[in-house]
Amino acid sequence: MRRVFRSFGWVPFVLLGAFAACSSADDSSDQVREALQQDVVLQASDFGCIKDWPQVRDFRITNKLGQEADSVARANAPGEGDYPVGTVIQVVPVESMVKRAPGFSPESNDWEFFLLDVTESGTTITSRGVADVVGPGGNCLDCHAQSERKWDLVCERDHGCGSIPVTPEFLLMLQDTDPRCSAP
């Protein structure tokens, strides 16, 4: 995974200019760092056995910026604000949604969708993106964007998304088949 500090064009330069005159170099670099937005660009090796992550209701959740407790807390307060940047959610081994930095994609509220191929030897990213990722059940964004805004595109069972023809019990069973969990 690359941790990316996205610069919003003018911000660092304005801050550098403003602080160069009145602060020490350390102060100004701290300020600049705060002004940059941290982002996550996941690589195949960042995915793994989803059963290693905390379970909330029927999905698994973690955070690739070290904020797992915040992501779990958000999941446990459904409908109350957006998931933190770096959140990764999966309900089956081969589909994932990852919360990118603000501005990544307004149409998906900054979620990036992934279709994965998983084997005992690891993960391959088959497809990633926003509007063009299509899994066995259809286009990810088309379905997830039907959820009411307060759910932050997380469907669960009653958030307004199109339905899927499998029970929660079946989804949990699929989690048990994640081949990466039995890798040596």
b (16+ CB within 10 A) / e for 42-60:
bebebbbbbeebeebeebb
Q: Which helix (H) or strand (E) holds 138?
A: strand 138-139
Please identify which residue in 4, 44, 164, 172 interacts with ligand HEC, judged by CB under 6 A.
164
Q: Where are the alpha helices (DSSP H) in 24-108?
A: 25-35, 68-75
Please identify which residue in 138, 150, 170, 183 interacts with ligand HEC, judged by CB under 6 A.
138
Q: How far is the CB of 43 from ligand HEC (least distance, A)?
A: 17
Amino acid at 91: V
Residue 113, interface with ligand HEC (CB under 6 A)?
yes
Please identify which residue in 108, 154, 175, 178 interacts with ligand HEC, judged by CB under 6 A.
154
Residue 157, interface with ligand HEC (CB under 6 A)?
yes
Of 90-109, which residues contact ligand HEC (CB under 6 A)? 90-91, 95-97
